[in-house]
Amino acid sequence: MSSITRILRGLLASVIGIVVIGLLATIVFTVTIFVVSTGAGLAGYEPSADYVVLAASLIVVAVILTGGFTPRLSGGRDDDSSDGFDDRTYN
């Protein structure tokens, strides 16, 4: 019975994680749409909603992909570099 409880807890944690990530992604996308449309308005452009959504989605995808290229920020690796320079953006 304890293994079923562990499986159900893991499943519940996964579902909660998916919901939280979905909500955060929606909030970030909405803020990006606001920033893109406001920036276009300040620059004197009146883009259609299609282009605003396209630009916002490309920006969000670029941010997500860039975040995947920085695994050293988690601190899980121990490199033997003795130069004292901590480059957290390069593998």
Question: Region 37-60: what's the mean pLDDT?
Answer: 93
Please give the Cα distance from 29 to 78 (Å, whole number). Answer: 35
pLDDT tier, 90 (very low <50, low <70, confident <90, very high otherwise):
low
Q: What pLDDT shows up at residue 86?
A: 61
Question: Region 51-62: what's the mean pLDDT?
Answer: 92
Is the model more confident about 82 or about 22?
22
Q: What pLDDT shows up at residue 72?
A: 56
Q: Structural domain boundaries of the chain?
A: 19-66
Check: pTM over 0.75? Answer yes or no: no
Helix axes 49-68, 2-42, angle to 10 degrees: 130
Structure tokens at 47: 């883009």
Please give the Cα distance from 37 to 35 (Å, whole number). Answer: 6
* CA-based nearest residue to 76, from 84, 65, 88: 88
